[in-house]
Amino acid sequence: HSTKGDVYVEKTYPFRTHPQVVQALTAGGLNVLSLANNHIMDYGPEALQETIALLERHQIHHTGAGSNLAAARSPAIIEKNGIKVAFLAYNNTFPLEFNATPTQPGTAPGNASYVASDVKKARSMADLVIVSFHWSAELLKERKSYQADLAKVAINAGAHLVVGHHPHVIQGVEGYKHGLIAYSLGNFIFASYSKRVQDALLLQVRLTPSGLKSAAFYPLNINNHQVHFQPQPLLAEEAKRVLEELQTLSHPSTTLEISPTYAIIDF
């Protein structure tokens, strides 16, 4: 959300929105955001800094990008109903020029050593840790091997939930040890009319101070020719189609309990 800066790295689609659009985030009740993605630095450090200042003025927590590498790797911590949850976010996409350095603004690069160290530190500060990765490739439904490796680094270090984004389409899920990996939930509200991007998932997790209790996946219609950028629940056969595909894409050891309008995993 910025009017400042110039295009930082030449690319086909540099994105930004007017700062007033933050009102949509507050109206939607969003209270924590990942800034680790392949567009947050499209208009350079000045635009990133304006975005961060805007979020902080509206009391929206953020993680995954910052004024330097240490800030980008710092967790956002939220306390709700007596449970402290730490959020971390990393960018595993190009351009590499978006990565923060010890002295330059940018995104937190998702390398295994950073992830393991940051999760362990966050675990000492909170009851639960949720890690977000911007990774994989656009329109790819099958996860890449490095996604599983990196997600398991996070869970082995103490994370409870890993959520991925960037492919624009749904990838599978995997239960691993005490945690859950949702490799990609697809888009939510995204400026696209693509016929290849029409389904998504809303993930609802129930938490206790000791870990995950359940995870429910609700299929959504995000065909903007129909829903006009207001995602709607899928019902009946369409919901069943998406949930069955989710099961097919998921790790063989992970079984979803499929209901008419959602699928659930209990822990």
Q: What is the pLDDT of residues 199-248, one digit of tens each?
A: 999 999 999 999 999 999 999 999 999 999 999 999 999 999 999 999 99
Give bridge partners of residue 258 from the DSSP assignment.
263
SS3 label, residue 20: helix
pTM value is: 0.97
Please report the sign of the dihedral spanned by the C-alpha atoms of residue 189, residue 192, residue 193, residue 194.
negative
Asked whether residue 17 carries a pLDDT value surpassing 90, the answer given is yes
What per-residue confidence (pLDDT) applies to 1? Answer: 83
Q: Is the pLDDT of residue 99 over 90?
A: yes
pLDDT tens digits, 146-160: 999 999 999 999 999
Q: What is the pLDDT of residue 210?
A: 94
Average pLDDT score over the chain: 97
- Compute CA distances 177 → 12, 152, 196, 216, 253, whole Å: 41, 9, 33, 18, 11
CA-CA-CA-CA dihedral for 259, 133, 131, 104, to nearest 10: -160
Residue 198 in this model has a pLDDT that exceeds 90: yes
Residue 232's pLDDT is 98
If you average pLDDT over residues 168-178, what whole number do you get?
Answer: 98
Mean pLDDT calculated for residue range 109-135: 99
pLDDT at 203: 99
Using the predicted structure, report yes or no on whether residue 20 has a pLDDT greater than 90. yes
